[in-house]
């Protein structure tokens, strides 16, 4: 199989991308005053303006030809139909089925649809019990607080949604992911042990960080309540997993196990029972709206023409900047404190999915896959790394995200945020390079401009629009993976570190008496760690 970058089309795009005659963003707008209208798309209360990129109409057409060349429409159909497109794990990729319980053409997915509906029923029942204070703990008191223990997709997905949608009526959820004991200790010290439910989320129920935290949480609650651990597990611990038998072996009561399936990737799992903490804290109806918003974007992705298809356009713009303009970073800048965790979420979604070095046939590739993503909420970045974005020789594309109608009633504040957002977009796109009247601009205050960015406006921030936004980014990742001819749904790169950590842990648990020769490259570090630790004689 030939590599994606071997085609004449790819080479033509490379030539265009590095041409010294490539029009500036300012010149593109001068040539086409209607450019912003032509290079935009809208769906589900989300408006995308991608006009501030170095893309001319013929370039956009060539990028769309890459979709045709990669058989994107066939790949979309294969994913929705449950084909095993995750080749290395021989699995289907059906997170879209989690938000579509009434498929028009189920492609033989009747059982999956039934299982999803049954899972949602179970989620609704326990959510209603929790929210009406009928769910009681080991001492008989009603539960009103949740500690959600997970890592990666079992943490980031629910965490980003909870931060975005919580309000004064929401139940309190604490998300714990870090193996560092401080993460759990900080939470456990401020909750009422009698009223706290612990949700342990792990696809395999073997994840070291998650099980370590689960065991420590169990021990602390048992100590505080002066009750056996079995009582705590039975009344105050829930498992969410694709391996229910392993959760049972851990001690979780079978009725307290919520299952999801191997066709749900961790970073795509918030739509499953992994989102239980959201349904219990925000309300099942809010969780349903999140699913509905994502489903609307799924339909849009599958049916909209490429030139108005938000996920496809996000993917092609990103691919243009990464592969043909050699701009391999992406700054995600949400002008909303509620979306403050979105850059972290997208780091995992994009970089774990597409940070690959072999194609779907196992052959090495020599082109970049995935941007390196970073970001914080606006206006914070304006006082940290905006200097780098505006004046560094390194050009970094940006996704600016603005909320037109905020969840609060302070329109003055909303106007201030949008003003800052649009001002930064204008500075990055058009800069400041010329003299103004009699005043000559110093070299230090010149702004080169001509820096690419997308602007994404949400009509409002609610469960529907958030679901649609997250789904749009999911599909963006899929499109790029198809064009790069990589498997976006495995993550073998994280496995080696997990296995190596076990041998180091054996050394430390045996006071350095383990077989250090197995880790010879780290022998000097292990020796120094031993020196810094107090000896047993002290």
**At residue 50, what are phi and psi to the nearest 5 degrees?**
-115, 20
Q: Is 362 left (phi over 0), alpha (psi -120 to 50) or beta?
A: left
Pair type for strands 145-149 and 196-201:
parallel
**Count H helices, E strands: the chain?**
21, 11
- Residue that is written with structure tokens 């004449």 in the block: 8
Q: Please give the positions annotated as active site.
A: 352, 383, 498
Separation of alpha carbons 401 and 418, rounded Å: 9
Rg of the Cα atoms in the chain: 25
List, as one string, the DSSP characters of 188-232: HTTS-GGGEEEEEE-SSS--HHHHHHHHHHHHHHHHHHT--HHHH
Non-local CB neighbours of 459 within 8 Å, separated by 6+ positions: 45, 46, 47, 404, 405, 465
Candidates 450, 454, 351; CA nearest to 401 is: 454
Residues making up the chain, counted from first to last: 538
- Report how far apart, in Å, the C-alpha atoms of 226 and of each of 169, 192, 216, 223 are: 31, 14, 15, 5
Question: Alpha-carbon distance 392 to 325, whole Å?
Answer: 16
β-sheet bridge partners, residue 49: 40, 455
Cβ neighbours around 143 below 10 Å, total: 23
Q: How are beta strands 257-259 and 196-201 bridged, if at all?
A: unpaired
Distance CA 374, CA 371 (A): 10
Beta bridge partners of 458: 46, 403
Question: Would you state the structure tokens that stand for residue 348, as one six-digit string?
Answer: 């995992």
Calculate the CA 194 to chain-centre distance.
33
Q: Are 112 and 94 in contact (CB under 8 A)?
A: yes
Measured CA to CA, the distance from residue 97 to residue 538 in angstroms comes to 60
CA distances from 365 to 6, 265, 300 (A): 11, 24, 31
Pick from 371, 403, 375: which is nearest to 388 by CA? 375
């Amino acid at each position: 199989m030939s590599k994606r970058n071997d085609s004449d089309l790819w080479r033509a795009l490379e030539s265009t991308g590095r041409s010294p005659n490539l029009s500036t963003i300012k010149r593109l707008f001068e040539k086409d005053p209607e450019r912003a209208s032509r290079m935009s798309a809208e769906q589900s209360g989300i408006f995308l303006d991608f006009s501030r990129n170095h893309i001319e109409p013929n370039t956009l057409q060539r990028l769309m030809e890459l979709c045709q060349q990669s058989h994107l429409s066939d790949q979309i159909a294969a994913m929705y139909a449950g084909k095993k497109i995750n080749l290395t794990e021989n699995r289907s990729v059906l997170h879209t089925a989690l938000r579509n319980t009434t498929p028009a053409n189920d492609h033989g997915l009747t059982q999956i649809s039934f299982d999803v509906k049954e899972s949602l029923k179970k989620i609704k029942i326990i959510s209603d019990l929790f929210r009406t204070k009928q769910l009681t703990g080991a001492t008989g008191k009603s539960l009103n607080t949740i500690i959600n223990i997970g890592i990666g997709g079992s943490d980031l997905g629910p965490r980003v949604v909870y931060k975005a949608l919580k309000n004064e009526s929401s139940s309190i959820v604490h998300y714990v992911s870090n193996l560092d004991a401080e993460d759990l200790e900080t939470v456990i010290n401020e909750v009422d042990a009698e009223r706290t439910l612990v949700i342990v989320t792990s696809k395999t129920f073997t994840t070291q960080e998650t099980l370590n935290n689960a065991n420590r949480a169990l021990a602390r609650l048992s100590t505080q309540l002066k009750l056996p651990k079995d009582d705590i597990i039975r009344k105050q611990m829930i498992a969410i997993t694709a391996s229910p038998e392993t959760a049972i072996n851990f001690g979780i009561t079978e009725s307290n196990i919520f299952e999801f399936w191997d066709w749900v990737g961790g970073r795509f799992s918030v739509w499953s029972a992994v989102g239980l903490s959201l349904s219990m804290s925000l309300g099942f109806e809010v969780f349903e709206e999140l699913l509905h918003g994502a489903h609307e974007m799924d339909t849009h992705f599958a049916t909209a023409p490429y030139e108005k298809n938000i996920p496809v356009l996000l993917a092609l713009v990103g691919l243009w900047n990464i592969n043909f303009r050699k701009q391999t970073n992406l700054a995600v800048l949400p002008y909303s404190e509620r979306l403050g965790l979105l850059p972290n979420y997208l780091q995992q979604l994009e970089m774990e999915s597409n940070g690959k070095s072999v194609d779907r046939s196992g052959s090495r590739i020599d082109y970049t896959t995935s941007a390196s993503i970073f970001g914080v909420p606006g206006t914070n970045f304006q006082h940290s790394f905006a200097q780098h974005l505006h004046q560094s020789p390194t050009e970094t594309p940006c996704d600016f995200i603005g909320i037109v109608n905020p969840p609060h009633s302070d329109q003055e504040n909303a106007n201030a945020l949008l003003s800052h957002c649009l001002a930064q977009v204008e500075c990055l796109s058009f800069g400041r390079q010329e003299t103004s009247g009699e005043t000559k601009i110093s070299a230090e205050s010149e702004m080169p401009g001509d820096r690419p960015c997308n602007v994404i406006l949400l009509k409002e921030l609610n469960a529907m629009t958030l679901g649609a936004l997250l789904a749009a980014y999911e599909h963006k990742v899929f499109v790029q993976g198809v064009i790069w001819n990589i498997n976006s749904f495995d993550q073998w790169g994280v496995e080696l570190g997990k296995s190596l950590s076990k041998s180091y842990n054996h050394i430390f648990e045996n006071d350095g008496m383990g077989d250090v020769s197995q880790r010879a490259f780290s022998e000097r570090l292990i020796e120094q760690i031993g020196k810094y630790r107090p000896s047993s004689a002290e």
